[in-house]
Structure 1
Amino acid sequence: MFGVFGLIYCLFRPTNPSNTLGIARFYSLGLNILNIDFKIFNKERLSVDGTAVFISNHQHNLDVFPMGRIVPKRCVSMGKKQILWIPFFGLTYWLSGNILINRTNKRKAWATMDGAIRALTKENTSVWIMPEGTRSKGRGVQRFKKGAFYAAIKAQVPIVPVAVSSYDKHLNLHKWNSGKIRVSVLEAIDTTGMGEDDMLTLMERCHKLISDEVARLDTDLLAEKL
């Protein structure tokens, strides 16, 4: 149902980045259908002057529900090219204006990053990237890839880290009340004046910030059960 509706919606203005918000909010209804208790902290930090690169941890296909609730206006996401072959959802994802990257071909992958930079600097469009590149599936926050940090530095736009609590610890989709998801938006990091030599330091800083915040959110949720 989600995919069919989204596909019809996007056909009226294909690949327009403004499509993303409407589609995202529609998919976020999954939180209500699954009866998930959702809360976001520091949501105001999603509002930035100009454009930004938003990054978050990547756990499961369920990410589409909480991300759908919080993605800001004129913000597209970056996903693997293989998404295109998921029936209905794949076409909807592409027609929403999101960016598909071919991770198996480095030359094409970096060309896609140049497209993301163009969106940030020329098209008044922010980009949301999950820098782990693949779902962690309960293994904690995995190592980050460079693309998001390369794009933020090249475009000289802020990078906004977003941490999402661990699904494997706090969700059980076999229950009527499926559990809780908490999201925390951290302070934006200014990349003005940074160069490629700063990329690894920025990447490691963001990884630590998100990892530490996920751990804090998990601890707080466990405390709520006591």
Structure 2
Amino acid sequence: MELWPWLTAALLGLLLLLRLHRAANFCARIALYCALCLAVSALASLVCLLRHGGRTVENMSIISWFVRGFKYVYGIRFEVRGRPKLEVEQPCVIISNHQSILDMMGLMEVLPRRCVQVAKRELLFLGPVGLVMYLGGVFFINRQRSSTAVSVMADLSERMVRENLKVWIYPEGTRNTNGDLLPFKKGAFYLAIQAQTCSCRPHRRPRCPSLSQVPIIPVVYSSFSSFYDISTKLFTSGTIRVEVLDAVPTSGLTVADVPTLLDTCHQAMRSTFLHISKTPQGDGAAEGSGAQAAQ
């Protein structure tokens, strides 16, 4: 019984350390986030298997329900504008900016029905996290082997039209916390254009009236820097503003139009990001936005 005073004092000391020491608080919150991801992924995987028996996009609604609870643990609020624009009854490519590990919370907050993501292949091997992503229908790309990535995207372009899927992609290709948008990679834009299908010969497809259109819908998240900053070890509660922009049509476009389409989306998203983040405009991410490498 004499141990209780010491244990109580140690616990109070730890809580005080977490409140007063920013780095300790940051590490504790990140550790909790990782633990939550692993535990929730294991539980959600079990529910997905019991509910649907295997890999299907329908599992994403189950995964989304679990992950949306994270915001209550961390005191994160979301202010979403334009959510109905995501509920289109047709295939589309959704693109958004990519900032940190917290993006998963933002993704699940607005995830529309029948929407899958494209993710790097390494995530498939993260134990229960990789399992739940697989069960949710996530498409994994090996970014180190471009031929494999192209094959996966070609398969995805057919499936998204055949199964009426929405596909969510981060066109920056990597996490970015520099207060601006990185140049976009081209994969999402190729996917939207190549997914247009009809029974016409290839050379007639751009003018075919029966062509299945696959628009691009940009989604912009405000900067997390006011409450999450890995460089300064800041991690507190905060508000994330989310803006769903108008769909960008791809009707009649060919692969030759990809650079223009990419630039149009990048400019619209960058302008919105700087506006809702109240971030001074910089020059870094604007340079070279027309010379992106293929995803």
Q: Same fold (TM over 0.5)?
A: yes
Structure-1 separation of matches of 2:62 and 2:157: 23
| Aligned 1:3-152 pairs, distance under 5 A | 3-12=41-50, 13-152=53-192
State the AA in 2 paired with 1:121: V
**In the alignment, is residue 161 of structure 1 matched against residue 201 of structure 2?**
no
Structure-2 separation of matches of 1:204 and 1:169: 28
State the AA in 2 paired with 1:56: S
Structure-2 separation of matches of 1:61 and 1:181: 14
Deviates more, 1:84-93 or 1:156-165: 84-93
Kindly indicate whether the alpha-carbon contact (under 8 Å) linking 2:192 and 2:215 is maintained by their aligned counterparts in 1: yes
Kindly indicate whether the alpha-carbon contact (under 8 Å) linking 1:38 and 1:181 is maintained by their aligned counterparts in 2: yes
Partner of 1:224: none
Structure-2 separation of matches of 1:117 and 1:215: 32
1:179 to partner: Cα distance: 0.8
Structure-2 separation of matches of 1:174 and 1:105: 36
1:174 to partner: Cα distance: 4.0
**In the alignment, is residue 198 of structure 1 matched against residue 257 of structure 2?**
yes
CA gap 1:79/1:165 in 2 versus in 1, 3 angstroms: same
**Structure 1 portions without partners, runs of 5+:** 221-226
Number of equivalences = 218
Structure-1 separation of matches of 2:94 and 2:70: 22
SS in 1 for 2:106: helix
SS in 2 for 1:163: strand
Kindly indicate whether the alpha-carbon contact (under 8 Å) linking 1:21 and 1:75 is maintained by their aligned counterparts in 2: no
SS in 1 for 2:94: strand
Structure-1 separation of matches of 2:57 and 2:170: 18
SS in 1 for 2:243: strand
TM-score when normalising by structure 2: 0.71
TM-score when normalising by structure 1: 0.91
1:216 to partner: Cα distance: 0.7
1:111 to partner: Cα distance: 0.5
Partner of 2:270: 211
Kindly indicate whether the alpha-carbon contact (under 8 Å) linking 2:95 and 2:219 is maintained by their aligned counterparts in 1: yes
State the AA in 2 paired with 1:53: V
Percentage of pairs with the same residue:
35
SS in 2 for 1:134: coil
Point out which structure has higher relative CO (alpha carbons under 8 A, 6+ apart).
1
Kindly indicate whether the alpha-carbon contact (under 8 Å) linking 1:15 and 1:98 is maintained by their aligned counterparts in 2: no
1:72 to partner: Cα distance: 0.5
Kindly indicate whether the alpha-carbon contact (under 8 Å) linking 2:180 and 2:274 is maintained by their aligned counterparts in 1: no
Structure-2 separation of matches of 1:67 and 1:11: 22
Deviates more, 1:163-172 or 1:53-62: 163-172
Partner of 2:293: none
Structure-2 separation of matches of 1:114 and 1:29: 35
Partner of 1:189: 248
Kindly indicate whether the alpha-carbon contact (under 8 Å) linking 1:84 and 1:94 is maintained by their aligned counterparts in 2: yes
Structure-2 separation of matches of 1:85 and 1:63: 19
What whole-Å deviation, never above 9, does each CA across 1:92-118 have from its counterpart, x for those lacking one?
111111110111101000011112202
Kindly indicate whether the alpha-carbon contact (under 8 Å) linking 2:97 and 2:220 is maintained by their aligned counterparts in 1: yes
State the AA in 2 paired with 1:192: S
Deviates more, 1:20-29 or 1:110-119: 20-29
1:9 to partner: Cα distance: 2.1
Structure-2 separation of matches of 1:159 and 1:102: 23
Structure-2 separation of matches of 1:155 and 1:134: 24
Deviates more, 1:190-199 or 1:118-127: 118-127
